[in-house]
A and B are shown apart, each in its own frame.
Chain A
Amino acid sequence: MEKFKTILSSAVPLPIEEVDTDQIIPARFLKATTREGFGENLFRDWRFHPDGSPKQDFILNNPIYTGTILVAGKNFGCGSSREHAAWALADYGFRVVVSSFFADIFRGNALNNGILPVQVTDAFLQVLFLAIEKDPETPIQVDLENQEISLPATGEKTYFDIDPYKKLCLLNGYDDIEYLLSLKPQIEAFEKQLIH
């Protein structure tokens, strides 16, 4: 996994709540057996007409919004456990998703793919939406080390939570699997007491 460094970027606003992983990547695009290439179908049915032409009113098709940060309404990533949703966001180029609430499985999948889910209050989320609306190029800074998201233009900032272990993994580019593999002897010993 790539190391996560402080990000300073403009953001793409998606002020919709309950964005489920079927919207992020519809099931009919889950037939691939590798992790690559899902970005082109990110938000497929919101982004494109059935004939493949772009829907002009969708945010990703609006050239004034760019950047590696997605700011979305609450309960982002609910529904299916498909990690393809995280792969699609990463493949498209997003490194951070900001929301006032994340679905559990999506949060884990994002973290396992170097995408940082930043959970903020409803009020701060509105601050971000307004700032982006006012100036689509306004930079947003996401500082993982200090667990802080801020708007350098106005100085507004807030702290966000992250599990200390997952933070360490992101900052250093570690995968869970390396750690788990290092525990093999302990796992084997534990198995002796299992009931099932």
Chain B
Amino acid sequence: MGKTLFDKIWDAHVVTQVQGGMKVLYIDRHFIHEVTSPQAFDGLEQRNIPVFRTQKTIATADHNVPTINQHLPIAEPLSRFQVDKLTENCDKFGVNLYGLGHQYQGIVHVIGPELGITQPGMTIVCGDSHTSTHGAFGCIAFGIGTSQVEQVLATQCLLQTRPKRMRITIDGKLQAGVLSKDIILYIISKLSASGGTGYFVEYAGSAISSLSMEARMTICNMSIEMGARGGLIAPDDITFDYVKGRLFAPQGADWDFKLAYWKTLYSDPDAKFDQEYYFDADDIAPMVTYGTNPGMGIKVTDQIPQPEEANQVTFNKALNYMGVESGESLMGKTIEYVFIGSCTNSRIEDLRMVAEYVKGKQKAPHVSAMIVPGSKQVEMQVKAEGLDEIFKAAGFEFREPGCSACLGMNEDKIPKGAYCVSTSNRNFEGRQGPGARTILASPLTAAAAAIAGKIVDVRSHLN
């Protein structure tokens, strides 16, 4: 029987098996950031052991950094301490750091791909659940806890149970105004916030293979939002073209050798999956969430559903928090904030698309709209293309790179009770700040909401 893409990569990384079935999995690349690494470095220090393979760990500061005045010392003492601690640990243990102000700094899941560190066939981990992003290159990439960060630093390995394999196939052509963010929000709304738990998901079909790498990253990024440890897409010419020539991409004979291997990375025609789903691209519309988990999403033209009997308490709690009701449509709903950024949608294509949409328009007066690039490289590219001027003219604030208002950890927060259309990945209670109400959407839907001051169907507002 043939192998799935997942199995091919997994099998190539199993060092040994533990009694009982768990595997010792070798990790090719390890990203770390300031929030989930300090206790891991402490652990190494207490055991008096070094980082085993310093060249395979890459550090950056992203979660806890301000997105204005990054040239100044961080004002908030605890944040500053944590970011300084990362610098200190990287110095002490010999780990390469792209810290604040460095030209390669940015959100871990943006810089890995853009620097060519992320390559097909790799196993990649990070103390961050959105590590699934890197699966877009045909990688086994998943988030881990801090104890595991310590294990990878110490041994470059993890103990893992082999997950089940799921494939989600989407064929057909997307409607104009429908983006890859809508695809993944649509999938999660169908499978629920726990429908992928225990699985690694391969995304396939013509609607996926026709996407750019950045659009694919948006899809894999949110795999965790349906509970899947990771998502992956078979690498193809679009992948190889993206990787080629990047800073850490293989070169010369090494490139040829690796390319030949990467071309073997696909699910064999007779490979068997534990679970398969099929969707039609034409059925996908611009999506918005109405509740407090990413599975609570609807087409922008649909009404908020009625609760199912089994989960009424949780459902009603979510609607109450969001200040919405079953049967209500979100179209026309007044919103106060728009956040365009996060590891889901802060790459240059996202920002080009937003710029093209808002060019010559003006945001609604009551809306605060913020655009936060995913990395220093993206920020510089935006400026080189003059997109920052377009944003400014349209009344959008263009910030410096970081996780920003995605997680309510740094200074960028949404006030209690306010509605924020956000291109990020989580609409949990308080995610963007205590009491903040998050409506997840694509960059186009978010941009259109900023201009209109309310939620609209971007398909009828395209340029």
Contact = CB atoms under 8 A, between A and B. Distances in A.
Interface string A5-36: 00000000001111010110011101111110
A15 B313 contact: yes
Interface stretch (B35-43, B177-185, B360-368): B35-43
Interface stretch (B92-100, B120-128, B166-174): B120-128
A195 B430 contact: no
A28 B229 CA distance: 24
Contacts of A15: 313
A112 B145 CA distance: 9
Contact of B85 (A33, A75, A79, A86): A33
A10 B179 CA distance: 50
Nearest to A83: B145
B428 interface: yes
A17 B426 CA distance: 16
A31 B79 contact: yes
B313 A81 contact: no
Interface stretch (B18-26, B297-305, B443-451, B453-461): B18-26
B194 A81 contact: no
Listed residue (A79, A84, A104) with the most chain B CB atoms within 10 angstroms of its CB: A104
Contacts of B157: 180, 183, 187
Interface string B185-204: 00000000110011000000
Interface residues of B, number: 76
Nearest to A17: B314
B227 A78 contact: yes
Given A16-B313, A165-B19, A183 B197 contact: no
A83 B35 CA distance: 10
A187 B156 contact: yes
A104 B258 CA distance: 32
Contact of B39 (A28, A35, A163, A176): A35
B15 A163 contact: no
B21 A108 contact: no
A183 B129 CA distance: 27
Give the interface size class of chain A.
35 or more
Interface of B: 12, 15-16, 18-22, 24, 26, 28-29, 35-36, 38-39, 42-43, 47, 49, 52, 63-64, 78-79, 81-82, 85, 119, 121-122, 127-129, 143-148, 150-151, 154-159, 161, 163, 193-194, 197-198, 224, 227, 229, 258, 261, 292-293, 295, 311, 313-314, 317, 407-409, 416, 426, 428-431, 434
B231 to A, nearest CB: 13
Given A45-B429, A177-B151, A179-B159, A27 B258 contact: no
15 contacts: A17-B311, A27-B431, A31-B79, A45-B434, A78-B193, A83-B127, A101-B194, A102-B197, A105-B229, A108-B144, A179-B159, A180-B157, A183-B155, A187-B24, A196-B121
Contacts of B313: 15-17
A31 B24 contact: no
B298 to A, nearest CB: 17
Contact of A165 (B22, B78, B128): B22
